[in-house]
Amino acid sequence: MSAENTLKTPILVLGATSLIGTFLMQRLQADGHEPMGLSRRPPGGDACWIDADLKADDLAEQLPGAATVFSLSPIWLLPVVLPLLKARGMKRLVAFSSTSRFTKQDSPEASERAVAKALADAEAAVEAFCAEHGVAWTILRPTLIYAEGRDGNVSRLAGLIRRFKVLPLSGSGDGLRQPVHADDLAAGAIAAASAPAAFDRSYALVGGETLPYREMARRVFEGLGRRPAILVLPPWLFGLLLTLARPFFPGATAAMGARMSQDLAFDSADAVRDFGWAPRDFRPRF
Whole-number pLDDT of residue 259: 85
Whole-number pLDDT of residue 4: 47
Torsion angle, CA of 215/218/223/228, rounded to 10 degrees?
Answer: -170
Whole-number pLDDT of residue 243: 79
Question: For residue 254, how far is the Cα from the chain centroid?
Answer: 22
The count of other CB atoms within 10 Å of the CB of residue 84 is: 15
Q: What are the chain's domains?
A: 11-275 (3.40.50.720)
What distance in Å separates the CA atoms of residue 82 and residue 79, rounded to the nearest whole number?
Answer: 5
Closest CA to 79 of 37, 135, 17: 135
Single-letter amino acid code for the residue at 72: L
Closest CA to 172 of 261, 253, 256, 259: 261
Q: Are 186 and 211 in contact (CB under 8 A)?
A: no
Whole-number pLDDT of residue 6: 78
Whether the model clears a pTM of 0.85, i.e. scores above it, the answer is: yes
Closest CA to 20 of 184, 172, 136, 133: 184
What distance in Å separates the CA atoms of residue 164 and residue 174, rounded to the nearest whole number?
Answer: 22
What distance in Å separates the CA atoms of residue 125 and residue 85, rounded to the nearest whole number?
Answer: 14
Whole-number pLDDT of residue 206: 98
Report, as ranges of residue numbers, the positions in the chain whose pLDDT lies below 50.
1-5
Alpha helix stretches (DSSP H) within the chain: 19-30, 59-62, 82-87, 100-103, 110-133, 154-164, 182-193, 213-223, 235-245, 254-259, 269-275
The pairing of beta strand 136-142 with beta strand 201-205: parallel
Whole-number pLDDT of residue 160: 87
Whole-number pLDDT of residue 248: 65
Whole-number pLDDT of residue 256: 77
**Each residue of 210-260: pLDDT tens digit?**
999 999 999 999 999 999 999 999 988 988 887 777 776 666 666 777 889
What distance in Å separates the CA atoms of residue 143 and residue 14, rounded to the nearest whole number?
Answer: 20
Torsion angle, CA of 141/146/152/158, rounded to 10 degrees?
Answer: 150
Whole-number pLDDT of residue 247: 73
R_g of the chain, CA atoms, integer Å: 20
